[in-house]
Chain A
Amino acid sequence: MDSDLMSAMRTLKSSIRVVFSIFILSILFISCEQSNFCLEPQTLSLKGGFYTKDTANKNVDTSVSNANLRFGSNSTFFTNYKNGSKFSFPLSQTQDTIPIIFESDSTSSSENLKDTFQLIYSRELHFISVACGYQTFYTLKNTITTNHVIDSVLIAVPSVTNETNKEHIKIVLKK
């Protein structure tokens, strides 16, 4: 082989050696990856809407003027809906049946303006990530309700998962 070529090869190889040693050093620094942080919630919400029946007995969207939905252990938590037609609240990750209290007028304490409905479902553990651990997926089985202001509670989409934009139940109100 030509001597010029041989010397060219030698320079080439020594330059590669330099590049390699830089590479090794840089690896030592970039090996420190950031630890994982949990950015996803562990609780999922059930979503639903308020409806009334029209003359043809079809369910149509309606909004409540000033209603409360009470949930949580001992019904200590509530959300107030003013002129809202959609709602959401979390389901229990420890029980298969939960009571929800619907107060059609939050200013009144009359029992006739209140209803309690039970949601009955099954639970399934769902892995989120190493950083976040688990959340619970649900499958709605049944609903039972008192009928002061609520006509019925219907299951529209039984599976409550991390999919958004699903309406799981419909609360059909009496007119």
Chain B
Amino acid sequence: MIAKQVSLILILGFVLLSNKLKSQTLNSNPQLESDTSEQIDSVKSKEKVPTFTYYRIGIDLTKIAASFLQNNYNVFEAQADVYYKKDLYFAAEFGYGNSKVSNQYLNYKSNNTFIRLGLDKTFFGRDFKGDFDNAFVGLRYGLAFINRGESTYAIEDIIWGNTNGIIPSESFLAHWLELTGGFRMEIVKNIFVGWNARVKTFINPKKFELLPPSYVAGYGRGDKNTAFSYNLYLLYGFGKR
């Protein structure tokens, strides 16, 4: 399953990357740009893009789909970013989620809010004025406020006898670092789609040793110190290009 997802993401990445590179190669072809003054103009227009004027805000479609398809958790994730300058964007992601565990050995619920803050650095220049299609890599700092409810557990032991008990509820602050990469593509004017692939690691994994939340919105599986995830965003862009 995961291999399938990863290969899909990789294939899509390569398709976009190769196309973008191809278009850049075309751009630098001297036959196509015999008029050097025009080329200089286009270079100038790249530099003139003003800072903090174009914003995008959107939601993660995969999380909405997963909330409907999964019985164990619900999650909502949104993203906002703003073009800063040259090849840098500031990005903020936030959301809410809850999860439940209900099996013969464990029963409990948890919920959390989260925020991730960071920077994205794009790879390519603009093909034309106001071109925000790009590929990027980024860094994030993530923070989640988690409430884990009271848990009941059972241990099966046919030899000495079964055990059961209660783990009291607990609130914790989890934080993590993540590395991300992805693409954004404007499909119609001011409407963007794009995905992010993410790898993340908890800064304070010891917090969860007694009983981790099964799912931490914004992070992934609470019982893993390293998590992988992806998002598919639908974004609306506004502001001056």
B32 touches A134 (CB 8 A): no
Given A24-B61, A27-B232, A31-B62, answer yes or no on A4-B157 (Cβ-Cβ < 8 Å).
no
B159 adjacent to chain A (CB < 8 Å): yes
Contact string against A for B residues 18-34, beta-carbon threshold 8 Å, 1 for contact and 0 otherwise: 01001100110000110
Given A4-B32, A20-B193, A34-B1, answer yes or no on A127-B155 (Cβ-Cβ < 8 Å).
no
Whole-angstrom CA separation of A73 from B82 in the bound complex: 66
Query: Could you tell me the distance in whole angstroms from the C-beta of B57 to the nearest C-beta in chain A?
Result: 19
Chain B residues with CB below 8 A from A30, complex form: 1, 4-5, 8
Query: Could you tell me the distance in whole angstroms from the C-beta of A90 to the nearest C-beta in chain B?
Result: 5
Q: In the complex, which residues 100-140 of chain A have their Cβ closer than 8 Å to any Cβ of chain B?
A: 125, 127, 129-136
Query: Could you tell me the distance in whole angstroms from the C-beta of A45 to the nearest C-beta in chain B?
Result: 10
B214 adjacent to chain A (CB < 8 Å): yes
B209 adjacent to chain A (CB < 8 Å): yes
B66 touches A31 (CB 8 A): yes
| Secondary structure type dominating chain A contacts | mixed
Query: Could you tell me the distance in whole angstroms from the C-beta of A22 to the nearest C-beta in chain B?
Result: 9
B168 adjacent to chain A (CB < 8 Å): no
Whole-angstrom CA separation of A27 from B153 in the bound complex: 34
A20 touches B185 (CB 8 A): yes
Chain A residues with CB below 8 A from B103, complex form: 38, 130-131, 133
A128, closest chain B residue (CB): B105
A23 touches B8 (CB 8 A): yes
Contact string against A for B residues 45-81, beta-carbon threshold 8 Å, 1 for contact and 0 otherwise: 0000000000000000110011001101000000000
Query: Could you tell me the distance in whole angstroms from the C-beta of B25 to the nearest C-beta in chain A?
Result: 11
B160 touches A72 (CB 8 A): yes
The size bracket of the interface on B is: 35 or more
B1 touches A42 (CB 8 A): no
B23 touches A12 (CB 8 A): yes
A16 adjacent to chain B (CB < 8 Å): yes
B239 adjacent to chain A (CB < 8 Å): no
Chain A residues with CB below 8 A from B127, complex form: 9
Selected contact of B223 from candidates A4, A33, A71, A129, CB within 8 Å: A129
Chain B residues at the A interface, C-beta cutoff of 8 Å? 1, 4-5, 8, 12, 15-16, 19, 22-23, 26-27, 32-33, 42, 61-62, 65-66, 69-70, 72, 101, 103, 105-106, 127-128, 133, 153-157, 159-161, 163, 165, 185, 187, 193, 195, 209-212, 214, 223, 232
Chain A residues at the B interface, C-beta cutoff of 8 Å? 1-2, 4-5, 8-9, 12-13, 15-17, 19-20, 23-24, 26-28, 30-35, 38, 42-43, 71-73, 77, 90-95, 98, 125, 127, 129-136
Given contacts A15-B15, A43-B156, 16 further A-B contacts (CB under 8 A): A1-B42, A5-B27, A12-B19, A13-B133, A15-B19, A16-B19, A27-B61, A31-B69, A42-B156, A92-B160, A93-B160, A94-B161, A127-B212, A127-B223, A130-B101, A133-B154
Can you list 11 A-B pairs with a CB-CB distance of less than 8 A?
A2-B32, A12-B22, A15-B15, A16-B15, A31-B62, A31-B66, A32-B69, A90-B157, A93-B155, A133-B103, A134-B155
Closest 3 CB pairs of A and B: A133-B105, A92-B160, A72-B159
